Structure 1
Amino acid sequence: MQLNQISRTDDLPDVVIVASAFGADQIRRDGHAVWAAAAARAGANGFEVRRELFASDDDSQPAALARLGERIRAQGLWAVYSTPATLFRDDGALDMDALRLAIDEAAALGAHIVKLQLGGMHSGVATDAATLDRLITGVAASKARVVVENGQLQAGGTIDAFETLFAALPTGESDGRLTMTFDTGNWLWAGQDPLDAAKRLSRHVSYVHCKSVMGEGARRFAAAPANGDTRFATLLAHLPGAMPRGIEYPFISGPDASLDADAARQVARIAAF
């Protein structure tokens, strides 16, 4: 799949609404398809399905995923499939079973991107030749772009872990290569500098999760970037401008604006940031 298949033809990036932005409880109650329609009304280009928000294991079966994919496409959206599974196990070894399952489920959905967490140990992940060969072969079997995301833990959330892995992989512009989802906020949970991460990892990024972070320590939470947030704007400026941007902070309804209205406002803001 060529990345330009999921990029806008104008000078603005595609905007994806991550299902959880509408609220985890609402997604589990109503199902993803209902809220994919809300994403379309908000003017989004894509919708990210979250495996952990399925109401039951039945939702992850191939036939159910195929029906969901059809409903997403009927709204004029393309799909991202996100799983909380990690590409590497706690001992740093590659988890081929997790990779194959994620790829198979994304294929049933008809997703353009399939996203896993990096995982691994605090010190990183295995990068020996045999592991890399298995990883490259597994990623190449996917019709969807395979990406790994920086998580909120030190294991799978450090700049060095990503830099070491990508340095070990073959370079090139092949559509089958492994790339990353750059989560603008998760770095802070892992004690990393997001701007340093952007400077060091930008060339490996094919999808951006957008959020600001409020609070400190364990009391951190995701929030919309403030108007005029120069730090957030600077961070995005160091990342590939044409890559899709996912909204992964909660939409807020109130007396002056509905959830739909806030979603539409945030889609426009993130596209233009």
Structure 2
Amino acid sequence: MKRKIIVVTAAYGSNQVAAMGGQLATLPLIADAGADGVEIRRELLSPEERRHLSSLAFAIEAHELQACYSAPEPLCMEDGTLNPSLPALLEEATTLKSLWLKVSLGHYQQPGALETLRRWLADSGMALVVENDQTECGKLAPMRRFQADCEALRLPVTLTFDAGNWLWVGDSPEEAARHLASAVSYIHVKAAAPHGDSFRAVAPDHADERWLALLDMLPADAPRGIEFPLEGADLTAVTRHYVNLLREE
């Protein structure tokens, strides 16, 4: 069974997506590139587009793609309580016929709120994946604590492993993989190159082999999302190149 490759629309850049006419316009080239799915970014949807997610879902199905839905929202607020927007976001993901809703961890503190989350997930029927982001909340220690609590409570929540984001917060991607791999169900693939006092995302074949070796530490059956910049005169050809590369590696 071939490995699933998901193209994150943000990989084309927000300006390029807007110039193309929105995320709907990326579907033909993602499908033509041979990808299995598309990650729709909530932040790139206009309020009008959010009101017509069922139409976007129809278009995604028409292109024989699967949908994933990413919202730039934390699971937990600054006081440790669950984000009250989660039920609405889960509903949007359901309307989009998404495989899952992806959010960041936020200010997770203790497992008291997780039974409420269990109820929200059961009511929605939607899967939830939690990603390590580029903030202090996305460091390995809080991600490990959250993962351990989910495992102890048998909460059906898994992790998105963003391979590059660990560097932004000063953690080792390899150490993160050793501790979290068993809970990972989705991988955001990107390498990171030094840029000023921080990093910038780059394609894995434009970096050292560390990034491809890192993939070997993660579940082989986890879908891989392309989240590094996809640029060039022929975006379909560029996308196809990386779809094939990540499917084979």
Q: What's the TM-score, normalizing by structure 2?
A: 0.94
Task: Tell me the distance in 1 between the aligned counterparts of 2:179 and 2:149.
Answer: 15
Residue equivalent to 1:53? 44
Question: How much has 1:93 moved relative to structure 2?
Answer: 2.1
In 2 relative to 1, CA 228–184 (structure 1 residues): closer, same or farther, beyond 3 Å?
closer
- Kindly tell me the number of residue pairs found equivalent between the two proteins: 248
Question: How much has 1:132 moved relative to structure 2?
Answer: 1.8
SS in 2 for 1:269: helix
Task: Tell me the distance in 1 between the aligned counterparts of 2:109 and 2:117.
Answer: 11
* Cα offsets for 1:14-63 (capped at 9, x unmatched): 00000011221122341211101110011100000001111x212112xx
Residue equivalent to 1:268? 244
Q: CA RMSD in A?
A: 1.8
Residue equivalent to 1:72? 60
Residue equivalent to 2:11? 21
Structure 2 residue identity aligned to 1:24: S
Task: Tell me the distance in 1 between the aligned counterparts of 2:178 and 2:207.
Answer: 21
Are the aligned partners of 1:251 and 1:262 in contact in 2 as well (CA < 8 Å)? Answer: yes
Residue equivalent to 2:235? 259
Alignment of 1:167-186 (within 5 A): 167-171=148-152, 177-186=156-165
Q: Which structure has more strand as a fraction of its residues?
A: 2
Residue equivalent to 2:109? 126
Task: Tell me the distance in 1 between the aligned counterparts of 2:143 and 2:122.
Answer: 19
Alignment of 1:1-273 (within 5 A): 10=1, 12-29=2-19, 30-54=21-45, 56-61=46-51, 64-95=52-83, 97-120=84-107, 125-129=108-112, 131-155=113-137, 157-171=138-152, 177-216=156-195, 218-226=197-205, 229-254=208-233, 258-273=234-249
Question: How much has 1:162 moved relative to structure 2?
Answer: 1.3
Are the aligned partners of 2:29 and 2:235 in contact in 1 as well (CA < 8 Å)? Answer: no
Question: How much has 1:216 moved relative to structure 2?
Answer: 4.0
Question: How much has 1:219 moved relative to structure 2?
Answer: 4.2
Percent identity of equivalent pairs: 34
Q: Which 5+ residue runs of structure 1 have no aligned equivalent?
A: 1-9
Q: What's the TM-score, normalizing by structure 1?
A: 0.86
Are the aligned partners of 1:251 and 1:263 in contact in 2 as well (CA < 8 Å)? Answer: yes
Structure 2 residue identity aligned to 1:38: L
Task: Tell me the distance in 1 between the aligned counterparts of 2:151 and 2:8.
Answer: 30
Are the aligned partners of 1:88 and 1:119 in contact in 2 as well (CA < 8 Å)? Answer: yes
Task: Tell me the distance in 2 between the aligned counterparts of 1:244 and 1:171.
Answer: 25
* Cα offsets for 1:87-143 (capped at 9, x unmatched): 111222221x221121011011111111011111xxxx12243x1211222223333
SS in 2 for 1:240: coil
Task: Tell me the distance in 2 between the aligned counterparts of 1:170 and 1:262.
Answer: 39
SS in 1 for 2:16: helix
Q: Which 5+ residue runs of structure 2 have no aligned equivalent?
A: none
Are the aligned partners of 1:87 and 1:118 in contact in 2 as well (CA < 8 Å)? Answer: yes
Task: Tell me the distance in 2 between the aligned counterparts of 1:115 and 1:132.
Answer: 16
In 2 relative to 1, CA 66–252 (structure 1 residues): closer, same or farther, beyond 3 Å?
same
Question: How much has 1:170 moved relative to structure 2?
Answer: 4.2
Are the aligned partners of 2:90 and 2:126 in contact in 1 as well (CA < 8 Å)? Answer: yes
In 2 relative to 1, CA 227–52 (structure 1 residues): closer, same or farther, beyond 3 Å?
closer
In 2 relative to 1, CA 237–66 (structure 1 residues): closer, same or farther, beyond 3 Å?
same
Task: Tell me the distance in 2 between the aligned counterparts of 1:210 and 1:141.
Answer: 31
